[in-house]
Amino acid sequence: MISIYRTFIVLAYIFFSGCILGWFIEFFFRRFKKANKEHVWYNPGFLTGPWLPIYGFGAMVLFVLSSFEQYVVKVCASGAVYYLIMFLVMALFMTLVEYIAGKIFINGMHIKLWDYSKEWGNIQGIVCPKFTLYWGVLSAIYYFLLFPKFQMMVLWFIDHPWFSFTVGTVFGLFLVDFAFAVRLGALLRKQACSLDRKAALDFQKLQGKLRMNSQSIHSKGFLENKFDQFEDFIQRSPAAKDTPSHD
């Protein structure tokens, strides 16, 4: 029982570390990307706090794969070939995580947190080869630079169980933030469905144009005042393959 609890706390610790680190990566990446011509700073996630769950799940996946790499790469390979296979497996797993997260938001809330529909080889605008390559690069950076640090932090964490209270506090804040985000998502979905049951709201474009900030985004009055502008950001799907039907 103690072992299960310890494993859960360690994974939660890795999850939130990945969430926060990923938020900063996206925060700076979107600040300087070509689509953001005005170079505006804005929250890259759907939550108010500085965390992106997709990176948290990704951090857990990469940690597990790195910890059991000898079982992941079951080939007689060494050197560059070994690492190439390892990072390819990591990139594919991260792409799978990204696809599942994208499907959940599109199917469940009619919201697009990202859109790769203009990228070559994309699948439903959710994943594409270009970003799979990016995941591979990030996996390599994680494996060589971050994984050793994570291992040391986990060992320190096991020797200092009192730190689990800190993880519990962060987890509580995360749940409150998530509850607000679900409420906002329900309001956005209701508005989108009233216009088109096949519509998906492009959240990135919505953030960029309205300059949403972390204090006003969850305000009921703010939402009511901006609902009239939401139609400009409702993205109709020209084909069933782009946005799943909810009929």
Q: What percent of the chain has pLDDT over 70?
A: 70
Q: With beta carbons less than 8 A apart as the criterion, state whether 104 and 46 touch.
A: no
pLDDT at 122: 94
- Residue 219, both tokens: 């305000």
pLDDT in tens, 69-115: 877 666 656 677 888 888 999 999 999 999 999 998 888 777 787 88
Strand partners, 112: 202
pLDDT in tens, 153-176: 877 877 777 777 888 888 899 999
Helices 147-159 and 2-32 sit at what angle, rounded to 10 degrees?
A: 140
Domain boundaries, given as residue ranges, for the chain: 2-235
pLDDT at 133: 95
- Beta carbons within 10 angstroms of residue 111's beta carbon: 20
Average pLDDT, the chain: 76
Quickly state the pLDDT bin for 237 (edges 50, 70, 90): very low
Q: Where is pLDDT greater, at 224 or 19?
A: 19
Residues 6+ apart with CB under 8 A from 173: 49
pLDDT at 218: 46
DSSP annotation string for 64-133: HHHHTHHHH--SS--HHHHHHHHHHHHHHHHHHHHHHHHHHHHHHHSEES---TTSTT-BTTTB-HHHHH
pLDDT at 215: 41
pLDDT at 195: 56
Phi, psi (degrees; rounded to nearest 5) at 127? -135, 160
Q: With beta carbons less than 8 A apart as the criterion, state whether 127 and 95 touch.
A: yes
pLDDT at 85: 86
Q: Where is pLDDT greater, at 46 or 202?
A: 46
pLDDT at 235: 46
Closest-CA residue to 54 (of 9, 27, 22): 22
